[in-house]
Amino acid sequence: MIALHATSPLRRRARGFVLPLVLLGLWQFAAYRDAVHQYAFVPLEQVFSALLELARSGELVVDLGASLRRTTLGLATGAIAGIAVGALTALSRSAEKLVHPLFQALRHVPLLGLIPLISLWCGTGEFAKVFIVFLAAFYPMVTSSFDGLRRIDQRYFELAQSYELTRRGWLRDVLIPGALPDVFAGILQAVPFAWITATSSELLFNAGAGVGNLMQTAQAGARVDVLLVCVTGVTVLAVAMGMLCERVAQRLLLWRDHA
């Protein structure tokens, strides 16, 4: 079993493809066995044609657009509010004591568990859906801004005081650069989470346009092919968003270190 030569990198990468290909093969095999199996194991070409059908009918664009719109709105408002509250509680001890208990109390209720309550209070319209995404982005952003600001070394504070920095200088040279890495980590976490919360909450709200609603209808109609398209789409977008944020964060941090 001990190789006399190291396995070449190419060979090692090729190994990674074995399992996925085998699984896909098994899937196709199960799909073609008989009609009963086709109910669950939809042949892959059918998944493809479902994708084309959705794209052509415009349904994919409408649903995707609606979900993305909600995610962006909820993210933007949630992130801004989160950073504001996080900064406030980090910089002021009394603010921290006022906000923290409630914050911690609500933190452990799974967001999706709040949906029945929210749908009863705010209905199932756009506001309720964006509100859930807002909450999904709000919580991680508060925690990361709070941590980011609290973690700034006290020595920088003393240094800034000895330089007698103005408010603006304080913000620009101490607070923002110091908190930035943690805030970015928070954003990195919040973005895919907001996207997933948006699509999952659509499953539960079950009204209006959105990827989640597409999935709900597909499930009702036993369209496994459409479901596979949706799952792949949601996953790919979640990964892409995460990677995009990471790139942007790296760029910005580079600028910070060089400025």
Partner 1 sequence: MTRRVSWLLWWVSPALLFLLWWYASARHWFAPQLLVPPYKVYDTFRTLAAGGDLQDNLLITLRRLATGFAWGCLSGIVCGTLLAVNRTFSDYVRPLFDILRQVPTLTLIPILILLIGIDEPLKVVVVAKAVFFPVALATYGGVQGVPRDLIEMARHYGLGRAGLLRDVLLPSAIPSLLTGIRIAIARSWLALVAVELLSADSGIGEMMEMARQMLRIDIVMVDVIAIGLIGFTLDQSIALVQRRVLRWQTPNR
Q: Is 47 in the site for partner 1 (CB under 8 A)?
A: no
Here's the x/- map for partner 1, 217-256, by CB under 8 A: it reads as -xx--x-x--xx-xx--xx--xx-----------------
130 token code pair: 């964006």
Q: At 224, list the tokens.
A: 């496994």
What is the DSSP track for 212-255?
HHHHHHHHHTT-HHHHHHHHHHHHHHHHHHHHHHHHHHHHHHHH
Tokens (6 digits) for 83: 């950073």
With binding defined as CB under 8 A, does residue 40 bind partner 1?
Answer: yes
Q: At what angle do helices 59-91 and 176-205 cross, to 10 degrees?
A: 140
Of 94 and 162, nearer to partner 1 (C-beta) is 94
Site residues for partner 1, 111-170, by CB under 8 A, read 111-117, 119-121
Report residue 81 as tokens: 């509010």
Q: Is 26 in the site for partner 1 (CB under 8 A)?
A: no
Categorise residue 222: left if φ over 0, alpha if ψ from -120 to 50, beta otherwise. left
Q: Does 52 bind partner 1 (CB under 8 A)?
A: no
In the complex, the smallest distance separating the C-beta of residue 94 from partner 1, rounded to whole angstroms, is 6
Q: How far is the CB of 18 from partner 1 (least distance, A)?
A: 6
Give the CA radius of gyration of the chain.
24
The footprint of partner 1 on this chain (CB under 8 A) covers a number of residues equal to 52
How far, in Å, CA of 88 to CA of 17, rounded? Answer: 50
Among 98, 159, 171, 244, binds partner 1 (CB under 8 A): 98
Residues contributing to the site for partner 1 (CB under 8 A): 7, 12, 15-20, 23, 40, 93-94, 97-102, 105-106, 108-117, 119-121, 196, 199-200, 203-204, 215-216, 218-219, 222, 224, 227-228, 230-231, 234-235, 238-239
